[in-house]
Structure 1
Amino acid sequence: MKVTMVGISGSGKTTYMSSLYETLGDAGQNDAGFCLAPRSMQPFDKAILSIGDFSRFSLADTFSWPDGTQQTTVWPFTVFYNSKPVTYFDWIDYRGGILTEITDIPDSNDTSEITKSEISDLASHIELSNAVILVVDAFVLTYYSNIKEARHRSGARRIHEIFTTYSRVYPNRNLTFVIMLTKADTVDSKWKSDNYAPLIERGLEVFNQMVSLCKQNPDWQGGIVPVSAVGEGNAKRTVVPTGDVMHPFKSEDKIIGFPAPLNAEHVLFYCLGQTLKQMKVEAHKSIKQREKELSEVLKKAGLVNKIWSLITRKPDAESIARAILEEKNKDYEVLSQFEPHIEPLLNKALERVRRIA
């Protein structure tokens, strides 16, 4: 299973990794029984090193923001529930500037080979992902009164262009996505009433084209949720208008309290829960389809087929069909081990994630 974050530079992708560590790391604050750890098949000492690498995202250790991602990184994770593995997934974090470069390059002949490779890698990750997290700065959404400007400044327009193309190329493919409104603690109080309802409505307005795509594609499942890496009152933002039309304001965020992430785990739980649910449905369909195919084979595989099999000493059609079905059943058995955890994951997510109907 693959989960990819999509967002422009500064939208909060890497900092979200920090909130995941604080919430779902082995020493996290999550009380729902779920835990997240880097996947490692190495001996104990090597496994500790991989966890230590994840812990470098800790905000509580340094009270400073992590550096932005300079190159695409794939993180293999395991999700545990009450200390037992629930599912595995790969988390892709890429350099945010790529999103801008995809739509701003005037002439592909002038693009460096490195940039072309990075763009190709990003496209491949999105193409192979079961779930995508669309990352957008909540402060940017609310700073600009003009919806079109907010859409442009936040990267929503570029995200829509990418997924419009995705929808055309893959019209019948399942896709789970979450619009993650980062830095929710920095917006004005008027956007925070009723559990951030005004901010969510603003997000849906800015991403209205993505909402439309979701409604047009019955195999898409979308959600939206506000998130903060440190929680209310634990960061102070200073904003200075510049008068520059290209960069209208400068902002500086300083951590002033112990980090208490808001809704970080709900984003991931929605991605995993919804994807596993879709996989379960597809697995049931697959088993039923193969059972039907086996039945058809058995009707055709009469006595002549069995006699010929004895003469040639090769498996008959019935044996081959049953072997294929048995192999597929084994795949489903692996998924079925996760089934009891799918609804808890999804139900926990939907405590905060609003579905996009």
Structure 2
Amino acid sequence: MDAKKSLKECHPQKYYLTFLFRVIYYLGMGDCWYEKTERSRTHKILYGIWAFIYNSYLILNTINQVTANFRSDLTVKEKNDMIQFTFAHPCFCVKYMILIFQKERVRNLFKRMMEGNRSIYSSIDLDKESVRKAIIYSICLAVITLWTLLFALMDGIFTYISEGIPIRTEVVLYPTRHNSGFFVNILRFLVELHWWCIITNMLVADCLCVSTLIFSGYKFKIVTMYFNNLRKKTRNKIGTKSRLALRDDFEKDFKLGIQLHEEALWCAGYVQYAIGNLYSVQVFETITLLVMCLVKLVTNERNLTFLIAVLTYICCLFAMTLAYFSAAGDVTYHASTVSTSMFHCGWEFVAGSKSLRTMAVVAIQRSQVPVYMTAFGVMLLSYSNFISVIRSSYSFFAVMY
């Protein structure tokens, strides 16, 4: 308990990520954390069985939904739901499968992000601020996702009351409404449970990705703080040290600042390399599912429960996409502030060394290069492009109808 409390106080980001990766482990996605945990051979065998069964269950149920396209006895509402799930749930699977297949990259990323140059300079206050922001994002995503699931279930109950269709939130190849029996009811329960399980896995993957973007942005914020403090530190030393000693101290501190900046740049680049595919999946998911939701609003018979269910689904898509674009936009913004703080770090107080001036010019020029997160390698994740994605979805729908 004392060790956990100490970790929470001295390294809040690591404490938060340890909890998040523990949840990922329990959800069958493997141990993606960079610190090895001693586990017995029996534990490893049982976990392997659990992970195989759980992931097989998620994937087989997803296949069961996709193959529902071959059914010919579906109502109009079921057809629209089926098309939506055909696009949505494979995307959900891809999100958490990326973490499984990129496990080594994820480990390398967080090992350097959490340890890296922390011994050189860190800020507990900024760490706590970043964790609070990550928790707020995660809670908002969890609440609106849970809200969406509940209203989807209510819509299924209303459909059962009005049309006699067994309560369902997913349209599958088997069982159909005509099948009955104890075994069939068990399968129906597993199908309904699948909806909650796959969303939970997707939600955890989204929270990890958004949190990583937030922590990457705060890497640059720490660099900005370092150079701001370097100016104050240099100014306070004036008059207490000789000009030569002051210059040597400044040059040493400035090199450490450059090292911090390079570390932040590496983290931002490796985040894109390790989990950047999640951004592309999210953009594709948002565009396609928004179009499907708009189609459902046009073609389905509308009632209050149905409208609320669809609108909460749309709000959920908005929230998830906004979380990605907002967190990625913060990375770009915080990276852009480094050049200004670097220019005002106090080099003019010790000017005179040609090597120092050259080093400062090169460092400032490098810090002025924009840092962007991208989807599909071309779409910049920024505040303005979030609106562009929403507009693209509506434009595609307008062309279709």
Pick the TM interval, shorter chain: 0.3 to 0.5
Q: Which has the higher strand share?
A: 1
TM-score under structure 2 normalisation? Answer: 0.32
Query: Hey, which of these two has a bigger chunk of helix by percent?
Result: 2
Structure showing greater Rg: 2
Using the size of structure 1 for normalisation, the TM-score is 0.35
Report which structure shows greater RCO (CA 8 Å, sep ≥6). 2
